Amino acid sequence: MYGVITAVPAPVAMYDGMHAEMTRRAGTSVDGLLVHVGRATPAGFEVLEVWESQEHYDRANADIVFPLMRELMGDQPAPPIEQSTEAFEVHGLVIPRGDILI
């Protein structure tokens, strides 16, 4: 398993828009994604994810996340947002029910 926390110093509305469009397109299933939680922070927002592997994470970013970000930006230059990403070792994971989308 591969766990990652990404902190982004941008308005949580940016996350909300991306999340809504991704779930509209992908639904409840992204290959290899086990857990995804987004939350507002005083500095912007954070995303905590647990993946089956780092390869699944990298592929989803390359195939889904980054293209959607470019599409939503249109012709505008990307804002200078310096996100930080921290991988962590997953020691336990319990998902008692499936097919949850919020």
Q: pLDDT band for 96, please (50, 70, 90 cuts).
A: confident
**What whole-number distance in Å separates Cα of residue 13 and Cα of residue 87?**
24
Average pLDDT value for residue range 43-52: 95
Structural domain boundaries, residue 58: 6-75+82-88
Half-sphere exposure in the Cβ direction for 15 (13 Å, CA)? 20
Give the residue carrying structure tokens 């990404």.
6
Nearest to 84 by CA among 47, 42, 57: 47
pLDDT at residue 99, as a whole number: 61
Q: Could you tell me if residue 94 is inside a domain?
A: no
Q: How far is CA 69 from CA 61, 89, 97, in A?
A: 10, 27, 30
Let me know if residue 19 belongs to a domain. Answer: yes
User: Rounded to 5 degrees, what are φ and ψ at 76?
Assistant: -75, 145
Q: Looking at the predicted structure, is the pLDDT value of residue 95 above 60?
A: yes
Tell me if 1 is assigned to some domain. no
Residue range 36-61: average pLDDT?
A: 95
Mean pLDDT of all residues in 30-57: 95
Whether 99 is covered by a domain: the verdict is no
Contact present, 31 and 60 (Cβ < 8 Å): yes
Q: Work out how many domains the chain is built from and give that number.
A: 1
